[in-house]
Amino acid sequence: MASIIIEAAGLTKSYGEICALKPLDLSVPEGEWLSVMGHSGSGKSTLLNLVGGLDRPTAGTLKVGGEDLLGRDEDGLARFRREFVGIIFQQHHLVPYLTALENVMLAQYFHSLPDEAEARTALERVGLGRRLKNRPGELSGGEQQRVCIARAIINSPRLLLGDEPTGNLDGSSTTMVLELLRELRSQERFTVVMVTHNQEVADWGDRTIHMDDGLLVREERKVF
Amino acid sequence: MVFLKQIPQFLVWMLLLLLLLRGFPGRRRAVSFWSTGGFALGVAGYLLLARLLPVRVPLGIIRSVMGGSFLLLWGVAVASLYRSTVRDFPLLRLDRFTPLCAMVGSGAAGLMAGGICANQLPAPDGSLLRFLPFLLLPLAGALLAVIARSVEGVVIPSYAATPSSLLAAVVALLLLSSSAAITLDLFSPLSMKVMKGTHDFVHQFMESILIPDHLFIRPEIWGYIGFLFGKEVGFWGGMIIWFTPVLLIALAIWLEPLPSVAQFRQGARRRLLLAAAIREKKHRMVIPALALVAFAAAAYRSSFPSVEYWDPKPLAVTATPAGEILIPRKGEVELEDGRMHKYLYKQGDKEVRFFILMNPSGKLTVDLDACAICKPDGYGQTEGMLLCYYCKTLIPLDTVGRPGGCNPVPVPFRELEDGVHLDASSLVNSWNQTVQSTTRSKEGGK
Amino acid sequence: MTRRRWLVHLIFRALLYRRGRTVLLLVVLAMASSLATALGMVSFSMGKRVADEVRKYGANLVVLPESARLDVGSGGLSFGAITEPAYLRQDEVESALVKSGIAAERSCHLRGALRFRNADILVEGVDFGEIRRLLPWWQLRGGWPAAGEAVVGSDLAARFHLKEGETVALDGPRGEVKLRLSGIVTSGGEEDGLLFLRLPELQSALELKGQLSTVRLLIPAEGGSLRTRAALLQQFLPKAKVTEVRQIARTSEGLLAKVKLLMLLVTVVVLVSAGSSVTGTMSTTVLERSREIGLMKAMGGTRWELLRIFAAEAFLLGVAGGGAGFLLGCGIAQFITVSVFSASAQITPWFAALSLGISVLLALLGSLGPMISVFRLDPVRSLRGE
């Protein structure tokens, strides 16, 4: 049995009156691919933000990779993010004035040191060896999302979070991105938590949890 | 009141303690014990020596120890630079001796700090009132040590001290502390030595290649040679000698190779280690930087000393038609009060400054307010000394009246019942010769 | 690549991406710092010039004949004293000095006009030994004159194309005087338009034996105030007027102080408005870049690192603006001093520090508010596009 990477108990998040996440218990073993499904507003993105250290829970306990995220201040969370987590967003958030290579190097900069050779290799691994010097505006949606993947894995995170990473992509690009993620995961052995509302995409995972109105309603495990 | 003046010294002492505690993290107890003990011993030792022997002796001891530690710093700086480039240098593997180092180092630092602080107090004369501060001083030192120990963990973040940078900072702080007293100061004598050394070298060189003063050398060349005689050479030469060891130590830290990370497969891991090593290196530069600041402060304090001089305004005197100047023994000024009295004599557009002083052996002496070497900036009087304003040389009062070096140029005079009689024309001649020769070499043949 | 170099690279990329806004900020910063620098330079050079002018008098007391008037200005020639001649008697002045017991360096001057090539030129008889002591700023090309020789002011020399070594013939009441020019003098003042010869020679040429038009005195500072000694000397010279030179300087210094105050006010207004426009521009930029900032925070940038990026950006802008501002400021200062004060500006490298300092400070202060919002920006909200 692999060790537990995410361990949440009674995790709650409310924005003022609105309760985005009702008390939730979750544990994810290291190396698992977990899909989180639900309609918009079901609290799945909130869960992802909490697990990724982007936001702090209102109540409950949350341990990621053995680190207690509740005891950390904002800068402590930032340090946690850069060493533990890689994030891929739905809108491929890239810095518009930096080239693909530089976007990857930016993540290296915040993590430790920029290293051009390593960033180049990472982009070659996601099949963008020939688009290193292009800016995001010159890349297609699928290519942009691949840059995001290269950026997310450059610092060898133990946890890769995806917030609808294929939401803006057409079918073939979606398959390509998910294939790529699967391949990288088999090499790097990181844990994936991916939020989606698409059953097909969710089916790529080992386990799927369904959320509704801030509650975990159903859990299904893929049978091999 | 006496202690108010000591506040800067106390601050330095506190910093010193913080540094020592930081430098020997495992032995905080030994460090605080030995340094406080050393401080008390330093105060007591100074007091004892100053009471039993002339005050010159303890001052001389402090000065030579400071000079010696500065030389040691030079040695360590060169060695650490060598080590950082060649890696293995057996002399600096002091790890085994850390306990001994902590003990001896903090003890010695405390001893010196105590001596220097004691020197700042008014001299003891046997009365209880004057003696009291010397009793309170070790207590204050110990109190500050306690404060430093409790503050140490909070004030300085994790800035590590390498042995060489620790030594640099300790020496720098002691020098800063001693620069408060003009008699203990090292930077000005250093720059003066450099100036005189250059001066002598150029002289010897000129003589050895048999170039007479004016025959072949054109005025422009004198301009360049004159530069070598100036205060600037001494100052800048002194600066170089003063700051180089710290800079070398900083350079040694900078040149230390980063750890090898080739064995790690993950690039992120490698980068993380490298970044941490670079950050650590930067942190290790903090203490040399502090030492540099302390050195700079010491040099500044030495160049602009806060000592008050007795520097009277020259009184104008006139000569009788026969060309004799009479300065009455008593009257407007008391000649025999052991203080320097300056006079100004004008003949046409020539002005001559001279002073009369009764030296400690009770003899009157008349000297020009200028020496045979420096630009005639004149002298000021401090406790037991005259100070040349130009080169900051200290001249013991006993030796005033003797010619040579940076001593003021003596003037022949006759001491009669009514006062001191001088010959105006010989005074003017003497001034002209001195000033001409010094300004020529200083300002390049003009 | 080190972190610092990457930071600079990042900032350059960001600045180039928003080229228009960068140029706007640079222009604002350069304008503000150049204006401040130029005003500083102008007031500095003017202060120096007034000080120079005052120093030109070297002497601190001037003895003039009662009816003549002392003309102090920026080099305008005054013929007033010549059309209405009045003179001091040399022996009277000497004896007054001895009687009053005032020990002073003095220089005696006699001014008059002689005809040269069908034009009247101003000539002055002086003792060159005294001149060398009292007016040490004279720059002489050539040698000091011996008997039968003269020196000519540089303006006058240029007007008549005179060269050193040449011999000039001047017509006076006593016929022609021939003088060899031993040198050309530049003092930056009125003297440049005069011809100087030895006092006795001019006195005989003008038939004014023992007469003087001005005596300048340099009284040592120690021993009593200047005014009391001027009054003392006045008692012994009833027919002359003893004036303190500092009086004249005081009025120009007062004027200068007012001009400086005005300049200071203008500078403050300019700096405040430039600062607020920097704030405005920077706020817009930060607003536009909020998504990017949120992204950087999500990637693991701490608040302080983000702050560092923006502060470094402001700093670089400030340095560039200050550099440009210094060059521009030199130009403006030169233009102002030449066109308004007809003098050349004193350009010293210290003003580069001033200019850089102002510009950097302005950039940093101006972006203080925007930087606080960078610091406090919430990554989750900004990424969601709120």
Cα separation of the two ends of chain A: 17
Distances, alpha carbon C184 to alpha carbons A5, C149, C180, C241, C332, in Å: 93, 12, 12, 32, 33
pLDDT above 90 as % of chain C: 27
Q: Which two tokens stand for residue C112?
A: 């008059």
- Average pLDDT of chain C is 81
pLDDT above 90 as % of chain B: 15
Domain membership flag for residue B207: no
Instruction: Measure CB to CB from residue B275 to each of A113, A118, A156 and give the nearest one.
Output: A113
**Could you tell me if C147 and C270 lie in one domain?**
no
**Could you tell me if B173 and B123 lie in one domain?**
yes
Domain membership flag for residue C362: yes
Flag whether pLDDT at C79 surpasses 50: no
Residue-range definition of the domain harbouring residue B169: 2-184+239-300
The segment with the largest mean pLDDT, out of B39-53, B206-220, B366-380, is: B39-53
Shortest CA gap C376–chain A (Å): 10
- 3-state SS string for C54-98: HHHCCCCEEEEECCCCCCCCCCCCCCHHHHCCCCEEHHHHHHHHH
**Could you tell me if B253 and B338 lie in one domain?**
no
Is the model more confident about C30 or about B221? C30
Shortest CA gap A164–chain B (Å): 26
**Could you tell me if B259 and B361 lie in one domain?**
no
Taking the C-alpha atoms of residue C125 and residue A21, their distance in angstroms, rounded to an integer, is 103
The answer to whether residue C379 neighbours chain A at the CB level (below 8 Å) is yes
**Could you tell me if C75 and C206 lie in one domain?**
yes
Dihedral (CA of C362, C363, C366, C369) sign? negative
Answer whether B275 sits within 8 Å of C3, measured CB to CB.
Answer: yes
The pLDDT of residue B445 is 34
Flag whether pLDDT at B374 surpasses 80: no
Average of per-residue pLDDT across B35-64:
87
Pairing of strands A59-64, A4-15: antiparallel
**Could you tell me if C11 and C101 lie in one domain?**
no
- 3-state SS string for chain B: CHHHHCHHHHHHHHHHHHHHHHHCHHHHHHHHHHHHHHHHHHHHHHHHHHHHCCCHHHHHHHHHHHHHHHHHHHHHHHHHHHHHHHCCCHHHCCHHHHHHHHHHHHHHHHHHHHHHHHHHCCCCCCCHHHHHHHHHHHHHHHHHHHHHHHHHHHHCCCCCCCHHHHHHHHHHHHHHHHCCCCCCCCHHHHHHHHHHHHHHHHHHHHHHCCCCCCCCCCHHHHHHHHHHHCHHHHHHHHHHHHHHHHHHHHHHHHHCCCCCCCCCCCHHHHHHHHHHHHHHHHHHCHHHHHHHHHHHHHHHHHHCCCCCCECCCCEEECECCCCEEEEECCCCCCCCCCCCEEEEEEECCEEEEEEEEECCCCCEEEEEEEECCCCCCCEEEECCEEEECCCCCEEEHHHECECCCCCEEECCCEECCCEEEEEHHHHHHHHHHHHHHHHHHHHCCC
Comparing B191-195, B329-333, C35-39, C207-211, the range with the smallest average pLDDT is: B329-333
Taking the C-alpha atoms of residue B159 and residue B379, their distance in angstroms, rounded to an integer, is 46
Average of per-residue pLDDT across B290-309:
84
The pLDDT of residue B189 is 82
Distances, alpha carbon C58 to alpha carbons B369, C106, C217, C223, in Å: 28, 10, 8, 18
**Could you tell me if B293 and B341 lie in one domain?**
no
**Could you tell me if C90 and C154 lie in one domain?**
yes
Answer whether B349 sits within 8 Å of C133, measured CB to CB.
Answer: yes
Domain membership flag for residue B229: no
Residues 6+ apart with CB under 8 A from C17: A96, A97
Residue whose token pair is 């001279």: B354
Taking the C-alpha atoms of residue B432 and residue B203, their distance in angstroms, rounded to an integer, is 22
Q: For A154, which residue in chain C has the nearest alpha carbon?
A: C299
Q: Considering only CA atoms, which of B202, B200, B203, B188 is closest in space to residue B237?
A: B188
Answer whether C13 sits within 8 Å of A102, measured CB to CB.
Answer: yes
**Could you tell me if B139 and B288 lie in one domain?**
yes
Answer whether B271 sits within 8 Å of A111, measured CB to CB.
Answer: yes
Query: Where do the domains of chain A lie, and which CATH numbers do they carry?
Result: 31-57+72-221 (3.40.50.300)
The segment with the largest mean pLDDT, out of B316-330, C105-119, C274-288, is: C274-288
Distances, alpha carbon C301 to alpha carbons A85, A108, B57, B157, B298, in Å: 13, 11, 61, 22, 41
C355 neighbors C37 (Cβ within 8 angstroms) = yes
Residues of B in contact with A111 (CB under 8 A): 268, 271-272, 275
Shortest CA gap B414–chain C (Å): 30
The pLDDT of residue B273 is 92
B231 neighbors B199 (Cβ within 8 angstroms) = no
Neighbouring chains of C at 3+ CB pairs within 8 Å?
A, B
The angle formed by the CA atoms of residues B292, B294 and B298, to the nearest 5 degrees, is 115
Flag whether pLDDT at B338 surpasses 60: yes
Residue whose token pair is 């003792």: C127
Shortest CA gap C89–chain B (Å): 25
Per-residue pLDDT tens digits for C113-146: 888 888 888 888 888 877 777 776 677 888 888 8
The pLDDT of residue A7 is 92
Average of per-residue pLDDT across A167-175:
86
The pLDDT of residue B197 is 82
B440 neighbors B446 (Cβ within 8 angstroms) = yes
> What's the distance, CA A22 to chain centroid?
21
Taking the C-alpha atoms of residue C7 and residue C14, their distance in angstroms, rounded to an integer, is 11
The answer to whether residue C251 neighbours chain A at the CB level (below 8 Å) is no
**Could you tell me if C27 and C102 lie in one domain?**
no
The pLDDT of residue C140 is 81
Give chain B's domain count: 2
C36 neighbors C271 (Cβ within 8 angstroms) = yes
CATH of residue B364's domain is 2.102.10
Distances, alpha carbon B384 to alpha carbons A137, B338, C309, in Å: 81, 10, 59
Taking the C-alpha atoms of residue C195 and residue C150, their distance in angstroms, rounded to an integer, is 7
**Could you tell me if B53 and B162 lie in one domain?**
yes
Domain boundary among C218, C239, C269: C218
**Could you tell me if B263 and B346 lie in one domain?**
no
Please give the ipTM for the structure prediction: 0.92
Flag whether pLDDT at C268 surpasses 60: yes
Q: What is the CA radius of gyration of chain C?
A: 32
Per-residue pLDDT tens digits for B420-446: 888 888 888 888 877 766 655 444 333
**Could you tell me if B292 and B319 lie in one domain?**
no
Flag whether pLDDT at B289 surpasses 70: yes
A177 neighbors A7 (Cβ within 8 angstroms) = no
Per-residue pLDDT tens digits for A128-164: 989 999 999 999 988 999 999 999 999 999 999 998 8
Flag whether pLDDT at C331 surpasses 60: yes
Answer whether C16 sits within 8 Å of A96, measured CB to CB.
Answer: no
Q: For B275, which residue in chain A has the nearest alpha carbon?
A: A112
Residues 6+ apart with CB under 8 A from B244: B74, B77
Give chain C's domain count: 2
Average of per-residue pLDDT across C60-74:
61
Taking the C-alpha atoms of residue A119 and residue A131, their distance in angstroms, rounded to an integer, is 13
Residues of C in contact with A98 (CB under 8 A): 10, 13
Residues of C in contact with B275 (CB under 8 A): 3
Domain membership flag for residue B29: yes
Per-residue pLDDT tens digits for A78-131: 999 999 999 998 876 899 999 999 999 999 999 999 999 999 999 998 999 899
Flag whether pLDDT at C306 surpasses 90: yes
Residues of C in contact with B278 (CB under 8 A): 2-3
**Could you tell me if C182 and C304 lie in one domain?**
no
Answer whether B267 sits within 8 Å of A83, measured CB to CB.
Answer: no
In terms of phi and psi (left: phi > 0; alpha: psi -120 to 50; beta: otherwise), the region of A218 is: beta
Q: For B279, which residue in chain A has the nearest alpha carbon?
A: A112
Domain membership flag for residue B221: no
**Could you tell me if C72 and C151 lie in one domain?**
yes
Average of per-residue pLDDT across B344-349:
79
Average of per-residue pLDDT across A22-40:
90
Per-residue pLDDT tens digits for B398-420: 888 887 777 888 888 888 877 88
Residues of A in contact with B268 (CB under 8 A): 111-112, 154-156
pLDDT above 70 as % of chain C: 84
**Could you tell me if B253 and B371 lie in one domain?**
no
Q: Considering only CA atoms, which of C310, B277, C312, B253 is closest in space to residue A112?
A: B277
**Could you tell me if C173 and C314 lie in one domain?**
no
Average of per-residue pLDDT across C297-324:
94
As a residue count, chain C comes to 386
Per-residue pLDDT tens digits for C13-28: 999 999 999 999 999 9
Is the model more confident about C211 or about B226? C211
Domain boundary among C173, C198, C218: C218
> What's the distance, CA B203 to chain centroid?
26
Flag whether pLDDT at C82 surpasses 60: no
What are the E-state strand segments in C254-315?
Answer: none
Residue whose token pair is 């080190």: C2
Comparing A121-130, A202-211, B173-182, C267-276, the range with the smallest average pLDDT is: B173-182
Domain boundary among B260, B275, B300: B300
Flag whether pLDDT at C333 surpasses 70: yes
**Could you tell me if C21 and C44 lie in one domain?**
yes
Q: Considering only CA atoms, which of C102, C90, C96 is closest in space to residue C59?
A: C102
pTM: 0.70
- Average pLDDT of chain B is 81
Q: Which two tokens stand for residue A218?
A: 């159903």
Dihedral (CA of B429, B431, B433, B439) sign? negative
The pLDDT of residue B280 is 87
Domain membership flag for residue C238: no
Q: Which two tokens stand for residue C247?
A: 């009086």
Is the model more confident about B213 or about C128? C128
Domain membership flag for residue B231: no
Residue-range definition of the domain harbouring residue C263: 3-52+252-384
Flag whether pLDDT at B209 surpasses 70: no
Comparing C63-67, C266-270, C349-353, C356-360, the range with the smallest average pLDDT is: C63-67
Average of per-residue pLDDT across B50-68:
86
Domain membership flag for residue C351: yes
The answer to whether residue B258 neighbours chain A at the CB level (below 8 Å) is no
Q: Considering only CA atoms, which of C72, C191, C180 is closest in space to residue C123?
A: C191
Average of per-residue pLDDT across B227-248:
83
**Could you tell me if B263 and B325 lie in one domain?**
no
Domain membership flag for residue B194: no
Domain boundary among C218, C241, C265: C218
In terms of phi and psi (left: phi > 0; alpha: psi -120 to 50; beta: otherwise), the region of C268 is: alpha
Answer whether A156 sits within 8 Å of B268, measured CB to CB.
Answer: yes
Residues of C in contact with A79 (CB under 8 A): 300, 302
Q: Which two tokens stand for residue A203?
A: 């089916």
Residues 6+ apart with CB under 8 A from A196: A35, A36, A37, A162, A164, A165, A166, A167, A202
Answer whether B268 sits within 8 Å of A113, measured CB to CB.
Answer: no
**Could you tell me if C202 and C350 lie in one domain?**
no
Is the model more confident about A43 or about B92? A43
Taking the C-alpha atoms of residue B191 and residue B195, their distance in angstroms, rounded to an integer, is 6
Flag whether pLDDT at B121 surpasses 60: yes
Residues of A in contact with C290 (CB under 8 A): none
* Contact residues, B window 377-406, toward A, CB-based 8 Å cutoff: none
Confidence band (pLDDT; 50, 70, 90) for C78? very low
**Could you tell me if B293 and B363 lie in one domain?**
no
C362 neighbors C318 (Cβ within 8 angstroms) = yes
Flag whether pLDDT at B23 surpasses 60: yes
The segment with the largest mean pLDDT, out of A20-24, A39-43, B114-118, B290-294, is: B290-294
**Could you tell me if B70 and B147 lie in one domain?**
yes
Domain membership flag for residue B166: yes
Domain membership flag for residue C235: no
B134 neighbors B43 (Cβ within 8 angstroms) = yes
Domain boundary among B300, B324, B342: B300
**Could you tell me if C43 and C149 lie in one domain?**
no
Domain membership flag for residue B210: no
**Could you tell me if C146 and C259 lie in one domain?**
no
* Contact residues, C window 30-89, toward A, CB-based 8 Å cutoff: none
